[in-house]
Structures are given as C-alpha cells and as structure tokens.
C-alpha cells in the first residue's frame, strides 16, 4: 500500500505506465532497479501491475534475473525462476549468463540454488570463451573457485578463445593464495601462454603484487619479457615490481652476453690453434 501510494503521488496515475516503461541511460527499468537493489516487495507490486515488464531487457540484453543475481537477493531470484520462469542460462549480448555474474560477485549460495536449473549447460561460456571459473578467479574468489571445481566439470587450465586460463585470471587479480592453490595444490600449468604470448608473469605484473611476481620467477623460472615490464610500468612506473623485473631482465641480458662472448672466444681459439695434421710424403 505504501509503495502504491508513493507511486500514485509521483505519477498521478493508477497504472503508473510512464514510470514502469521509463529507462535510464543503460536501458534499465524500475523493475531492473528493484531486483538489483533487493527490494522484493517493490518488485512484487510492480510485476503485479505490469507483468510484461518481467521480460524487458536493458541495452546489454540483460534481464531481471541478471539484475537480481548482481544484487544477491535469493528471494527475488527464486521468484523470477519459480513464478515467472526466467532462465538462469539466458545470455546477454556478450554471452554472459547469470552464472558468470554470480561467480564474479561471490554468490555461492545462489549458485547452489540454481544447480538443478543449469544441468543442460553447467559450464557456460561467454562469447570470449570464458566460464564462470574464469570470472571467479579474476575476482580473487577462492570459495567460489573451490565450489566450481569440486561441483562442475571445469579446471583452471581450461582456456578461453585466446588461451587465457583461470590461472592467468588469478595472476591478474594478484591473488597469491589462489595462484598457489592452482599451481602447487592442483599442479596446473605454470608455463601456459595466451595466443598473444602472454605468460603468468605478464598478468601478475599487471597486479603490482611483488610477492606473486617473485614467486613465479623463483618457483617456476619464468623469465620477464619486455612487455611484462611495459605493462607493469603502465600500471605504476615507480613500483617495486617494475624495478625487480628490470633487474632480472638485465641480469639475464648480461648472462646471455657472457655466453655469447665465451662462445666467440672458444671459436677464435680453435681457429688460431687448428689441430695438427699428418704430412703425407
């Protein structure tokens, strides 16, 4: 009653059509907002007077269930699925499902509720080929990561369309705990590279986590490349990560120069002192 009276005072109409059909710059309606903010009573009232609004999409192709999963109110999620029949596997224009959003936002309890509704595609991929595990890893969400690995047929070594794995994502998040879990406990591939030749070290350098960068260099002998230093500089040109990578890269350069110099000296010595030959009379 309070909601209805408030709406009437604003719109002056018992149907509130103008308000219910209005959208913001992202194409979201008041129903999207009610779902994302967890206002279940407001949602129930609005959906009762404007039921067709339950199926409205925003500019990204996201419906009310996407908004509810972002908001984290399981009551609204249940209502949208059980009463209105919305599909948790529905994709937006980038192929992102509610499961990707839940994985990113640490909503394990809602994910568990959805399990019976996602049997047809338990490991959905967005248009870049990333699964919910990619999203959870990139968000440094170890509880969600463990749940996904233990419950669904997915592994941290699964690549997206560009070879980017969940291990790369954990490095990008700067998560020492998650990277150690992947590489030490699960024995994931520490040497995996994306199709554009970016290693774990590249993504760790983006995070500015010196401890993680040192771990990858010392434990797995990853060698910094020029683009690793460049990406670290773009994030923070004066960071300790930049200085460390530059030192390691320079040391490797000197070592390589020493090897080349030693090879040339050995070659010159062989040319000056050729092996003796027997003279045939």
End-to-end Cα, the chain, rounded Å: 122
Q: CA–CA separation, 183 vs 140, rounded Å?
A: 15
Share of the chain above pLDDT 70, in %: 83
Give the global pTM. Answer: 0.85
For residue 275, the 8-state DSSP code is: P
Of 183, 161, 162, the residue nearest 171 (C-alpha): 183
Contact 106, 135 (CB under 8 A): no
The answer on pLDDT for 50 being more than 80 is yes
Query: What are the structural domains, with CATH classification, of the chain?
Result: 1-86 (1.25.40.20)
Q: CA–CA separation, 152 vs 124, rounded Å?
A: 11
Classified as helix, coil or strand, 8 is helix
Give pLDDT tens digits for 206-264: 999 999 999 999 999 999 999 999 999 999 999 999 999 999 987 665 666 555 554 44
């Amino acid at each position: 009653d309070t909601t209805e009276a408030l709406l009437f005072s604003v719109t002056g109409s018992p149907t509130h059509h103008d308000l219910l059909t209005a959208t913001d710059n992202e194409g979201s309606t008041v129903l999207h907002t009610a779902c994302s903010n967890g206002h279940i009573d407001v949602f129930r009232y609005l959906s009762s007077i404007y039921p067709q609004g339950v199926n409205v999409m925003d500019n990204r192709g996201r419906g009310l269930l996407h908004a509810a999963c972002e908001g984290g109110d399981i009551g609204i999620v249940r209502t949208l699925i059980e009463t209105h029949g919305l599909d948790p596997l529905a994709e937006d224009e980038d192929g992102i499902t509610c499961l990707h959003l839940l994985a990113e936002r640490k909503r394990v309890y809602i994910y568990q509720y959805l399990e019976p509704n996602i049997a047809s595609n338990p490991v959905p991929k967005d248009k870049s080929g990333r699964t919910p595990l990619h999203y959870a890893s990139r968000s440094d969400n170890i509880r969600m990561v463990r749940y996904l690995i233990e419950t669904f047929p997915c592994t941290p070594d699964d690549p997206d369309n560009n070879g980017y794995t969940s291990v790369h994502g954990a490095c990008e998040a700067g998560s020492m705990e998650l990277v150690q879990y992947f590489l030490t406990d699960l024995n994931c591939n520490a040497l995996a590279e994306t199709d554009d030749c970016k290693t774990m070290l590249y993504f760790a350098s983006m995070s500015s986590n010196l401890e993680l960068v040192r771990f990858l260099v010392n434990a797995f002998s990853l060698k910094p490349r020029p683009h690793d230093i460049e990406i670290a500089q773009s994030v923070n040109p004066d960071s300790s990560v930049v200085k460390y990578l530059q030192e390691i890269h320079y040391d490797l350069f000197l070592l390589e120069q020493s090897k080349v110099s030693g090879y040339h000296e050995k070659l010159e010595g062989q040319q000056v002192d050729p092996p003796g030959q027997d003279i045939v009379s």
